[in-house]
Structure 1
Amino acid sequence: MVAGHGPAVNVTAAGFPVHAFAQGALEEVTDHLTALPAVTEAYATTGSSDVLCKLAACPCR
């Protein structure tokens, strides 16, 4: 069975060795997250947070 089709990007090899998660209420974090090109995954959740995002980052700063 085919599990998926598309590019598999190695973000560590691309220079982003730090992986982090951010969560919050969708209306509070949408503007911040859309401004970040580092968001690699986003999930709708239930509970006190509406969204959970995975980010790739560089420890350059």
Structure 2
Amino acid sequence: MAPVPPSTSSAVTLNINGEKHQLTVDHRTTLLDALRERLDLTGTKKGCDQGQCGACTVLVDG
């Protein structure tokens, strides 16, 4: 039997501002990129692209 290749994406469900969103995302996708590129929620900004400056902060369960 041939080995099964590992999956490179996962289905996720996000509850954002009371609205449920279901996405299939690549394992390398950051929350920031999913919010901005897949859901067109552009309030969170990409600053330093390393997470050090705080521009990409997302409030979770808040």
Which TM-score tier does this pair reach, normalised by the shorter chain? Answer: under 0.3
TM-score scaled to structure 1, two decimals? 0.23
Greater relative contact order (Cα < 8 A, sep 6+) = 1
| TM-score for the superposition, normalised by structure 2 | 0.23
